[in-house]
């Protein structure tokens, strides 16, 4: 649904997005993750044509977004929740958008209901909280019920309940075959929402894969009653053993099942056996620092 190829943005001699390529498939939620200033917003703006690319291209449903006959009916975007007229009511704002999208007025009430703004629809946007503006922006993106949703930092201003609500909304969209790209600079916000992670650091994609694979432990941590003799047994079995924090043995690239079976076979008593989980946090910092 979205194909991004070699997308690059230069401001003067600074390259802020550098050869970014990815494809997004229907039925998945992809998290676009990176620290502030990594290039997420610029990439999303290039996908919509709001910012012209210095090189590369982005296609939505096979065409540049701006060349689609009714772009908002193909991809709903949340890029800048502040860009609305503060004097208008939420309902009027959505009605004007609905008219340009060719969407009937009754859909406005449906989306207001979906984002829990039915009661506030008649109030001026200038009096909305940041979270309410985010919800209004999401309502606008949903108006034409587009198959693709692209949200830049949608959790901004939402409370934990709001974040859970958004998670259900985006997961529900993907479950119905939709395609979702959402950006965040906070791992915890997207960890339980996304199927796949695209991590960007200093304008470059530094990791791309199913979240489960990116988070999978890379080995085993084990503590034995007699660490020295168990370490010798592991080495004898041809495994690499690293020592950590005194008595913790780390066996890279080997599952706990295998390490446990070796312990049982050799009669070694274990105190602790676990997959060495690279926390998402750690992965994130490693990747972004490396870039």
Ligand X SMILES: Nc1ncnc2c1ncn2[C@@H]1O[C@H](COP(=O)(O)OP(=O)(O)OP(=O)(O)O)[C@@H](O)[C@H]1O
Choices 37-45, 85-93, 113-121, 230-238 (CB under 6 A): range interacting with ligand X: 37-45
Binding flag, residue 127, ligand X (CB under 6 A): no
Choices 22-30, 34-42, 229-237, 258-266 (CB under 6 A): range interacting with ligand X: 34-42
- Among 185, 227, 233, 291, indicate the residue that binds ligand X (CB under 6 A): 185
- Angle at which helices 106-114 and 90-101 pack, to 10 degrees? 120
Question: Looking at beta carbons only, is 9 or 93 nearer to ligand X?
Answer: 9
> Within 10 A of 70 (CB to CB), how many other CB atoms are there?
12
Question: Looking at beta carbons only, is 40 or 196 nearer to ligand X?
Answer: 40
Query: Smallest distance, Å, CB 203 to ligand X?
Result: 7
Choices 33-41, 53-61, 208-216, 225-233 (CB under 6 A): range interacting with ligand X: 33-41
Binding flag, residue 188, ligand X (CB under 6 A): no
Please list every residue from 41 through 80 that binds ligand X, using CB under 6 A.
41-42
- Among 6, 26, 37, 188, indicate the residue that binds ligand X (CB under 6 A): 37
Question: Looking at beta carbons only, is 45 or 93 nearer to ligand X?
Answer: 45
Binding site for ligand X (CB under 6 A): 11, 16, 34, 36-42, 185
């Amino acid at each position: 649904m979205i194909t991004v190829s070699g997308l690059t943005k230069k401001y003067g001699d600074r390259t802020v997005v550098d050869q970014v390529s990815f494809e997004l498939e229907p039925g998945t939620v992809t998290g676009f993750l990176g620290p502030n200033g990594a290039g997420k917003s610029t990439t999303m703006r290039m996908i919509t044509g709001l910012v012209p690319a210095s090189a590369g291209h982005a296609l939505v449903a096979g065409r540049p977004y701006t060349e689609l006959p009714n772009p908002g009916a193909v991809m709903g975007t949340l890029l800048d929740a502040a860009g609305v007229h503060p004097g208008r009511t939420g309902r009027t704002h959505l009605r004007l958008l609905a008219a340009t999208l060719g969407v009937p007025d009754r859909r406005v009430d449906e989306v207001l209901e979906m984002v829990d703004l039915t009661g506030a629809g008649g109030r001026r946007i200038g009096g909305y909280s940041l979270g309410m503006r985010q919800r209004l922006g999401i309502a606008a993106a949903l108006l034409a019920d587009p198959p693709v949703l692209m949200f830049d930092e949608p959790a901004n201003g939402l409370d934990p309940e709001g974040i859970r609500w958004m998670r259900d909304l985006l997961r529900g969209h993907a479950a119905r075959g939709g395609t979702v790209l959402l950006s965040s600079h906070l791992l915890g916000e997207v960890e339980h929402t996304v199927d796949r992670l695209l991590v960007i650091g200093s304008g470059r994609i530094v990791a791309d894969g199913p979240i489960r694979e990116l988070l999978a432990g890379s080995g085993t941590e084990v503590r034995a009653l007699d660490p020295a003799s168990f370490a010798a047994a592991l080495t004898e079995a041809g495994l690499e053993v690293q020592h950590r924090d005194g008595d913790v043995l780390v066996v890279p690239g080997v599952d706990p099942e295998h390490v446990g079976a070796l312990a049982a076979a050799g009669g070694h008593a274990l105190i602790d056996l676990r997959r060495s989980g690279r926390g998402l946090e750690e992965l994130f910092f490693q990747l972004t620092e490396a870039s």
